[in-house]
Structure 1
Amino acid sequence: MKKILMVLTSVSEIEDTKEATGYNVGEAAHPWKVFKDSGHFVDFASIQGGQPPHDPVDTEDPIQVAFTQDEATRAGLYNTARVDVIDPQQYDAVFLVGGHGTMWDFPDSEGLQKLVASIYNSGGVVGAVCHGPAGLLNVELENGIHLVNGRRVAAFTNDEEVAAGKDKVIPFSLADRLEGLGATHVFADVFEEMVVVDERLVTGQNPASAAGVAKEMEKLLAEVIHQEKAEEQHESEALRAEKDAEKNAKKAAAEDAEH
């Protein structure tokens, strides 16, 4: 059982058009269900803290409905912690939820950059979907190299921005920015699922990829759990062998004393 932090945007409207925005509910709900069904703990944080804004809920999607009605989730979203006060050592993985709002507040959040870098540097898993990878752009690892440099990543494509009617209002092209940092942008057709795993970094292209990102993260976390159990068993066997050796040594000493 692991602890996962889901990070959400605090931006409630697109700068130029004043159109309402926020985190994409489906991109939060479907990964949340994967993590919860696997028995992991899920916490929420946002860039500014408090109650983060969100896009409309798809009431035809039972997972989104369950997400918005779950009491623990509602409580967690009512007053999220700011990313810059989060202790990264408390988490085994971080998941960056998408939504157009992330394009404005994820890239320049030093708190988010430090959080992601710390979790990855300590052996944790980092996931992001759709516009969530905007939060990876300025993340530098302890070796001074950008997290995305030299990696295969998925994110919302330029064609999808055009299809969504947002290509003229976004502050930059996420796909182009990722490639400019040395990443290889891997993509499928518009709004088709695409999930990419590169070591402990898992990224997805669009809302259809959200659950897939969580599932791949779950596989990585399961490997960690398996390794931890194997190490615990090895330590237990070593301790048992040590105790048995001490017991046998005492028995042998007692027998020698009798003779």
Structure 2
Amino acid sequence: MTKVLMVLTNTTKFDHLNRATGVWLSEATHFNEVMAENNIVVDYVSPQGGYVPLDPGSIGSDEMDDTNWQFYNDANFRRNALARSLKPSDVIPSDYAAIYYAGGHGVMWDFPTSDAVASIAKKIYDNGGVISAVCHGVVGLLPITNSDGSKFIAGKKLTGFTNEEEAINKLTDDVPFLAEDSLKAAGAVHTKAPAYTEKIVVDGRLVTGQNPQSARGVGEAVLTIIGK
């Protein structure tokens, strides 16, 4: 049985702004749909385990397509992904062919500081698996290091949520840092498409997507690599 591990945020609100946040639903569901279509089991982990909030913006009427409704109405998804996600200590990395970091603004606070999740990701990669991420979820790549202490993403080609897209959100000054800037500062080779258009970058067994529009494409690229 092929399994993939999805990483979700525990962050419920912005730090200095009275605005709720969490996982961006479509970034979980559109990737998940690809896995479900190919009989791949998805497990869910978060930095703290347990409750995973949904970003309210991701369940507005304009965002709720058929895929989102399918998973939102699925009791198993709500229970396993949103109510009782795994703690990092619950995870056996060798069980998984890939790890996928879903986004949403909440990840900006807990993904970059989760060395436990980063360790899981590196073990999956070292076992021949895939590391993948979409949108703000790419900041989960920042704490992943090589055995010599160097940054995992240094010199690697990738993409992620852009400064332009954050400016369109009018949240540039409300996030702790900008995803695009942080990737470049870590030595990654960052490329991007026009705002809110699909872009997928594959560099060996690293797969990244720029924005919510890229979540399904990331899933399809991961699928190709793991050979399903």
If the TM-score is normalised by the length of the shorter chain, which range does it land in?
over 0.9
Moved more, 101-110 or 66-75: 66-75
Q: State the match for 1:202 in structure 2.
A: 207
Q: How does 1:1-259 map to 2 (within 5 A)?
A: 1-56=1-56, 57-59=59-61, 60-77=64-81, 78-222=83-227
Query: 1:51: how far off?
Result: 1.7
Contact 1:9 1:46 in 2 (8 A): yes
- The CA distance in 1 between the partners of 2:146 and 2:98, in whole Å, is 16
Contact 1:84 1:110 in 2 (8 A): no
| Structure with max Cα Rg | 1
Moved more, 65-74 or 187-196: 65-74
- The CA distance in 2 between the partners of 1:138 and 1:51, in whole Å, is 23
Query: 1:87: how far off?
Result: 1.6
- The CA distance in 1 between the partners of 2:23 and 2:70, in whole Å, is 17
Spell out, residue by residue over 1:204-237, the C-alpha distance to the aligned partner (whole angstroms, 9 max, x if none): 0000001000100000011xx6xxxxxxxxxxxx
- The CA distance in 1 between the partners of 2:69 and 2:196, in whole Å, is 22
Contact 1:125 1:200 in 2 (8 A): yes
Query: 1:82: how far off?
Result: 1.3
How many residue pairs get matched?
223
- The CA distance in 1 between the partners of 2:138 and 2:98, in whole Å, is 15
Q: Highest relative contact order (Cα 8 Å, sep 6+), 1 or 2?
A: 2
- The CA distance in 1 between the partners of 2:87 and 2:108, in whole Å, is 17
Query: 1:143: how far off?
Result: 4.6
Spell out, residue by residue over 1:106-148, the C-alpha distance to the aligned partner (whole angstroms, 9 max, x if none): 0011111111111111111111000001100120123533221
* Runs of 4+ deviating beyond 2 Å: 141-145
Q: Residue type matched to 2:211 in 1? A: N
Query: 1:182: how far off?
Result: 1.1
Moved more, 64-73 or 37-46: 64-73
RMSD: 1.3
Q: Residue type matched to 2:51 in 1? A: Q
- The CA distance in 2 between the partners of 1:71 and 1:65, in whole Å, is 12
- The CA distance in 2 between the partners of 1:103 and 1:84, in whole Å, is 22
Q: Residue type matched to 1:52 in 2? A: V
Write 1 or 2 for the structure with the bigger share of helix.
Answer: 1
Query: 1:49: how far off?
Result: 1.0
Moved more, 197-206 or 85-94: 85-94
TM-score (norm 1): 0.83
Contact 1:88 1:118 in 2 (8 A): yes
Q: Residue type matched to 1:50 in 2? A: G
- The CA distance in 2 between the partners of 1:82 and 1:166, in whole Å, is 29
Q: Residue type matched to 2:84 in 1? A: N
Contact 1:58 1:65 in 2 (8 A): no
Moved more, 121-130 or 136-145: 136-145
Q: Percent identity?
A: 38
SS at match of 2:10: coil
Spell out, residue by residue over 1:224-253, the C-alpha distance to the aligned partner (whole angstroms, 9 max, x if none): x6xxxxxxxxxxxxxxxxxxxxxxxxxxxx
Spell out, residue by residue over 1:11-38, the C-alpha distance to the aligned partner (whole angstroms, 9 max, x if none): 0000011210000001001000001101
Which sections of structure 2, spanning at least 5 residues, go unmatched? Answer: none
Spell out, residue by residue over 1:178-226, the C-alpha distance to the aligned partner (whole angstroms, 9 max, x if none): 111111111001111110000000000000001000100000011xx6x
